[in-house]
Chains A and B, each alone.
Chain A
Amino acid sequence: GNSVTQMEGPVTLSEEAFLTINCTYTATGYPSLFWYVQYPGEGLQLLLKATKADDKGSNKGFEATYRKETTSFHLEKGSVQVSDSAVYFCALRPNSGNTPLVFGKGTRLSVIA
């Protein structure tokens, strides 16, 4: 079946530190991959996405590259800010049909000044 595994949190970083949140997936076929972010008290928002192998999604300084050979979609940011504190979810959506997103369990990031 389809599944997403992401690193357990919480992750605590100092402002301006480098961020990596690992995400790997299992899927039949070639899914689209997503990172969603959930700020405190809010719903999930799409952060970035990639639809095929070697695509790089980017937004707000965050990047992730669709790696088919390692079935990974790691999230990175070169210099985090306090305002990046949130829960980050990796997700996939199979391209074989119109089916729901499959989410990882989420990784909580806390950035301290």
Chain B
Amino acid sequence: DAGVIQSPRHEVTEMGQEVTLRCKPISGHDYLFWYRQTMMRGLELLIYFNNNVPIDDSGMPEDRFSAKMPNASFSTLKIQPSEPRDSAVYFCASSASYRGDTEAFFGQGTRLTVV
């Protein structure tokens, strides 16, 4: 398996523009997580899905952020409009739901810079 695939790897955009980050989880995994990593706040969970259904989006910072999972093999995180403080590395991860000890597999991340 190719692992969790995220695109793009790098994104530079101007303030006010819409940004869409994409994620393909590992086949067969039924949990998908979106995290944001910054120097100041570390790794923050934004939202997670189970069987394509959003379970907890309490980590989404503002209404400007939205996430969807239209099917088991694809998810998007959208920021509209983007702001400079959204600059961060965004990670997608997936896992199977069998037991609580199941590890999460991470993608390589999307480095977002909003200027």
Contacts and interface: CB of A to CB of B under 8 A. Distances in A.
B100 A97 contact: yes
B31 A98 contact: yes
Nearest to B41: A105
A31 B103 CA distance: 12
A43 B90 CA distance: 10
Interface stretch (B12-20, B42-50, B60-68, B76-84): B42-50
* A interface bracket (residues with beta carbon within 8 Å of B): 20 to 34
Contacts of B25: none
Contact of A51 (B48, B101, B105): B101
Contacts of A95: 99-101
Contacts of A100: 31, 33, 45, 48, 56, 104
B71 to A, nearest CB: 20
Contact of A31 (B45, B50, B97, B100): B100
Interface string B79-102: 000000000000101000101111
A106 B100 contact: no
A96 B40 CA distance: 30
A93 B101 contact: yes
A101 B56 CA distance: 13
B29 to A, nearest CB: 12
B97 A98 contact: yes
A88 interface: no
A43 B108 contact: yes
A45 B108 CA distance: 10
A34 B103 contact: yes
Given A95-B99, A95-B101, A98-B100, A43 B109 contact: yes
A101 B100 CA distance: 9
A97 B99 CA distance: 8
Nearest to A41: B108
A31 to B, nearest CB: 7
A77 interface: no
Interface string A72-108: 0000000000000000010001111111110111100
5 contacts: A32-B101, A34-B103, A94-B100, A95-B101, A100-B56
